[in-house]
Structures are given as C-alpha cells and as structure tokens.
Chains A and B, each alone.
Chain A
Amino acid sequence: MADTLALAAHAAPRGWRSPISEPRTIRRVLIGLTIVLLGLFLILPLAAVFVEALRLGVGRFLVTFGNPDARAAIWLTLLVAAVAVPCNLVFGVAAAWAIAKHEFRGRAFLISLIDLPFSVSPVVAGLVYILLLGSNSAIGGFLLENYDLRIIFAVPGIVLATIFVTFPFIARELIPLMQDQGTGDEEAALSLGASGWQTFRHVTLPNVKWALLYGVLLCNARAMGEFGAVAVLSGKLRGETVTMPLQVELFYNEYQSVAAFSLASLLAALALVTLVVKSWLEWRYADQLAAGARAH
C-alpha cells in the first residue's frame, strides 16, 4: 500500500515538467551546444596533432624519435622536470605546513604572493631572470667570471624559469586541504610523545598524499610543456638547451611539419595521461583533495 502511494506521488503526468528544470528542447540544445563548442575548440586541435603526425604514415612518425636533436630535447625535458618538480614539492610541503598548521599575521597575503607566478606572463618570467642573471648583470657576470657558471642561455636558466612558472601548483593543492584538516591529529600525535618529524611522516603525510600526487601531476605537466619562459632564455642551442616544446617550434619553423607534430604528439599524449589520472583522482579521492582543487 505504502509502495503504491510512493509510486503514485512520483509518477508525473505526461507533459508535466519540474518547475526547477528547463524544457526538454532547451536542455537538448544546451547539451548539443556544449558538445559542439568543446569539440570545435578542444577536441579538433587535439585530433589535428595526431592526424598531422601520422599524415605520412607510421614510419615517418617514428623517424622523428631517432633524430638526435629530438632525443636530446626529450632528455632535457625529463631532466628539467626531474629538478623543478622536487624543488617545488619541498617548497609546497614547507609552505603548507607553515601556513595551514600555524596562525600568524599576513597569511592571506603570503598565499597571494605564492599564487603570483600564475598571473605573470611566461615571457616576463623568462625576462626577469635574464635581467637578474644575464652575463651583463652584476650577479650573472660574477658567476661567469669566477666560477665559469653560465645560467642564462644554459640549462640552469631553463630550470629556474620552469621552477618559476610551476611555483604555486603543489602549495595551492596542499594549503586549503591542510587548513580544512586542522591540527587535531597532529596535536594528538605530539601529546602521545611523537617527535615533530614522526608526526609529519606518519600523521600529516598520509592525510594529504592524494592531494600531493594531484599537485605533482599538474606541476609536472606544466614543467614538461612550458614554452614561453623557456623560449626566452634558452638561447636555442640545438641538442643542448632545447626542450621538447622548443624543438617542436624549431621543426615547425623549418617546415618539418611531420617531425614537429610527431614530437608534439608525445606532449599531447602526456597531457591526455595527465587528464586521465587527474580525473581518476578527482573521482576516487574527491574527499581527500582540496575542495577548491578544481578551480585553477
């Protein structure tokens, strides 16, 4: 009896529409519009990368990866990410510990400063290092003369610029989450006699591990794909200071279209893997990621 009543209450008459939803036609039009827009602006370029890469067949596609310049670029990109990501990882954890687990004046301001590199043009990011560390600046000249250490138009500069543009990624995933988690767990561990390091290692770290992975993932994608900042201060010495995105540009400007798109397809594949892992983390561990994690 109760079941029948419940059913009757839910069965809406034909043609009835919820007052807090839109008519079916409008719904369909909006869904269609979304798919067309995303298809046109996002899917089409992505598809173009792979189609252009394979235009002359798989053989020509694979030839690119035997090219010594392309190989050197792939290695350099891996090297740069392998240095830049851990640097920002250490910074992100330290900053989150200081900001989220302690109360002090000017926290909001400090968070704004950490986010600053997101609003700086990549070209400007490269430029500030040239002005500060170029061979005709005070510091750059000193390093070059006394230690024969070249930073600008060399690998250290590329690493620095990459650290700059990926600076906020890990910190901004950790800070809101660790703020939400509060200090209760840590206080319990400390009162039970754990040392500060033990508390961090066995209490805090397990609480934030998925957010940490999420931050590292985004940081790495940007580190490997950065173009503007690196382009400005790399000097583009083939096989020495050319990262994958820069090699794509060099091939493209030499009208080696297939080579450019083949190398680009590797970067596009990296982007796709990043998106898949990111979506999986959001789906599986939504409760263990910062609430605002998605709004970049």
Chain B
Amino acid sequence: MSRIRFRQQSVIPGFGLTFGFTIFYLALIVLIPIAGLYARTFELDWESFRQIVTGPRFLAALKLSFGASLLAALFNAVIGVVIAWVLVRYDFPGRRIVDAIVDLPFALPTAVAGIALTAIYAPSGWVGSLFAPYGIRIAYTPLGIWIALVFIGLPFVVRTVQPVLQDFNRETEEAAATLGASRRRTIWSVMLPTLLPAVLTGFALAFARAVGEYGSVIFIAGNIPRQTEILPLLIVFRLEEFNYPAAAAIAAVMLTASFLILLAINLIQAWSQGRYSHG
C-alpha cells in the first residue's frame, strides 16, 4: 500500500527544526498579523464597510493611486525594455556604472527620494523653475506623484528583462535575418514576444510597488483631499483619527489588490514556462 508522503526521505538532517522554525516565524511575523487585519475588517457590518469604500474621498484616492501607478508602470515598462536592451547589447564607456545606478531606487530610502524629488520639481527647484513660467506645476500635482512612482518602479522591468535578453539565442536573430526579415521585423515579431512574459512580470511588480508606495510620494504630492491624496495616506489619516475599522477596511482593499497582482504574476510565469520550456 503506497501512501503519499509529505516529504521525501533524505539523509540531510535538520528538516524538522528548520521547517518548524520557518513556519513559526512566518506565522508570527507575517501570516497572523495579516489574518488579524481581515478579522478586524469583518467586525464591520456590511453597511459601514460599504460606506467606507464608496465614500468620495476614498474613491478619489483609489482612482489616483491605481491610475498614477498604472501610468507610471506603463512608462517604466517601455523605458525598462530600452534600458535593458542598451545595457545588454551595446558597449559604451561607463556601462557598468549605468548598470549599477539602475538599482538606486532599491537602495535609496524612500523618504530621501521624496524630499529630493520635491526639491527638484517644486516651482523654485532645478526642473520646476523651468516649467513654472509656462504655468506648469509638477510638484504638488498628480504629475509629481507620477514622477515619484516612475522613480521607485524604474528598476523592476530592467531587472526582469535583462537576464532573458542576456540568454537570448542570437542564432534565432540570424535565422530571422537570413529568412529576409528586416531588423525591425525581427525585433517586433521574434524578440519582443519572447521578452513579453518578463516585461509583464516587471510591469506587475512595478505596479504593485507603486500602489503601496508612501515615502517618496507624500512629500511631492501636496496631499490635497480628493486631488492629490493617495490610498496609503488615507490609511494614515484614519489611523491618526483612531478610526481603526476604516483604516483596516481600506488596507484590506489594498491587500486584496496586491494578492490579485501576485496571482497575476504567478499566472504569467506559469504561462511563459508552458510556452518556452526553458522558462
């Protein structure tokens, strides 16, 4: 009689201890607190939950957070492919430095990025003062929020596309060229479809990060209710009013959105692995 085993036998010791500790620590730090958030949301009755998530201030923040994040992630997807292409395919002086600089948004604390971007794009700043005479304001408008979100999301697409492009078999390009395809056609119909799963994954990661971003946005946003107020900031305001159920409800909406994005990323990866066996 065969029994499906949870774990395959192996001579490597320490499974019980390390697995047990992993689950314990994961539950303590991540799973229980997140479950607690949902439990807190369910304490609300349906009518109050509905009132919170259909309030005009909430809806405006929702639209701004998801809209600006979408536009920033789209922009990052396009320039991410260009930057990855340049870094993998072309050789030029300082390429290694440029490559290292791409990770700056991962390393620079968000609050530092926030005040620096505000200093540049404020009406008196280096870039802001160039646009101010034409009546274009960047900081304290949705445009400023978009710039901050482009900043923090920039590395994602570059870093997901780069390894795929590095491993891309150049003989495929040669084959396309010998079959008479123009360079443009080779790139559009042969290379970009192969890069697509990586681009989509990077896009989803950048989008998820942008929706939840707080530190780099709040300085440049101006935080005017219904105009430049993002969802995470709305949670902070509710907390400061000690309105915990409302804060929990907004957070539950955001958390559910991140779970859906995470699911989408996993589906993209499963799909691309099915399509290209080497994944």
Q: Which A residues form the contact surface with B (CB < 8 A)?
A: 19-22, 27, 30-31, 33-35, 37-38, 41-46, 48-49, 52, 91, 94-95, 97-99, 101-105, 110, 112-114, 116-117, 119-124, 127-132, 134, 160, 163-164, 167, 183, 186-187, 190-191, 196, 199-200, 218, 221, 224-228, 231-232, 244-246, 248-249, 252, 257, 260-261, 264, 267-268, 271-272, 274-276, 278-279, 283, 291-292, 294-296
Contacts and interface: CB of A to CB of B under 8 A. Distances in A.
Contacts of B40: 131
B85 A30 contact: yes
Given A102-B7, A123-B212, A130-B239, A45 B117 contact: yes
B96 to A, nearest CB: 7
B1 interface: no
Interface of B: 6-8, 10-15, 17-19, 21-22, 25-26, 29-34, 36-37, 40, 79, 82-83, 85-87, 89-90, 92, 96, 98-113, 115-117, 119-120, 125-127, 147, 150-151, 154-156, 159-160, 162-163, 170, 173-174, 177-178, 183, 186, 208, 211-215, 219, 232-233, 235-236, 239, 244, 247-248, 251, 254-255, 258-259, 261-262, 266
Given A102-B12, A124-B37, A128-B251, 16 more contacts: A38-B98, A45-B151, A46-B104, A48-B125, A91-B22, A95-B26, A101-B10, A116-B30, A121-B232, A124-B232, A127-B235, A167-B29, A227-B111, A227-B214, A249-B111, A294-B159
A103 B8 contact: yes
A44 B173 CA distance: 37
A276 B14 CA distance: 36
A268 B151 CA distance: 15
A173 B30 CA distance: 19
B115 A94 contact: no
B261 A97 contact: no
- In this complex, which of A30, A120, A190 has the most chain B Cβ atoms within 10 angstroms of its Cβ? A120
Interface of A, helix, strand, loop or mixed by DSSP: helix
Contacts of A227: 109-111, 214-215
A44 B159 contact: no
B174 A291 contact: no
Contacts of A292: 163
A274 B104 CA distance: 9
Given A42-B104, A43-B101, A131 B37 contact: yes
B21 A129 contact: no
Contacts of B186: 20
A130 B242 CA distance: 11
B107 A271 contact: yes
